[in-house]
Amino acid sequence: MKQILDYFSIDGAVGGNQDWFNNFVMNMGGCAAATACDCCIYLALRRGMRHLYPYDVHELTREKYVDFSMKMKPYLKPRVHGVNKTYLFTEGFGKYLSDVGERGLKMLELSGSEKVSAAEAFIREQIDSGYPVPYLMLRHWKEEYKDFVWHWFLCYGYEEREDGLWITVATYGEASVFSLRDLWNTGYTEKGGLVGFFQCKESVK
């Protein structure tokens, strides 16, 4: 079984790209803000939540994306140790959602210390419900994942294979496909985690 969300592109890139950021601290450490921006654009474009994105979601450009990232910066600002806890993401992004009038969309967290089976179920449920999954990875013992260390990125698809769940993720304007079992097994006690979305019964803007 394969489930891939109808993601978006900007000037040929898969989602947004942190490398576009002109602000030095955002260019170096704006991955959480970029992930939140990508969530907003996806939800505005595919779930009708137009108020989450301040521009025309049908005319996505690199320039507008960079402008949007600076609006998100105060909520998920780069810091010495980064946005290195899932609660820092949910608190910061939650404040942005509140400020733009979104009352119905809520978030939940799954710790990276949970079993991979819990992560698989979490991602399946989120993708099947039409939501991308913000993913935080702090460390990993494998060199091949070095570009994803201490980094937020966005999962927007999965595929069931004989050796487990494989996920499709976007970051730096590119898509990658990984074995979740392999990615989840970081080899370190300091873990990241996942963030999910759900709609509560409160009215939205």
Q: How many CA atoms lie within 13 A of 199 on its CB side?
A: 10
pLDDT in tens for each of the 205 residues of the chain?
999 999 999 999 999 999 999 998 899 899 999 999 999 999 999 999 999 999 999 999 999 999 999 999 999 988 888 899 999 999 999 999 999 999 999 999 999 999 999 999 999 999 999 999 999 999 999 999 999 999 999 999 999 999 999 999 999 999 999 999 999 999 999 999 999 999 986 544 4
Give the chain's domains with CATH numbers: 2-199 (3.90.70)
pLDDT (0 to 100) of residue 81: 86
Q: End-to-end CA distance of the chain, in Å?
A: 35
How far is 198 from 119, CA to CA, in rounded Å?
16
As to burial, measured by CB atoms within 10 angstroms (0-12 exposed, 13-18 middle, 19+ buried), residue 151 is: buried
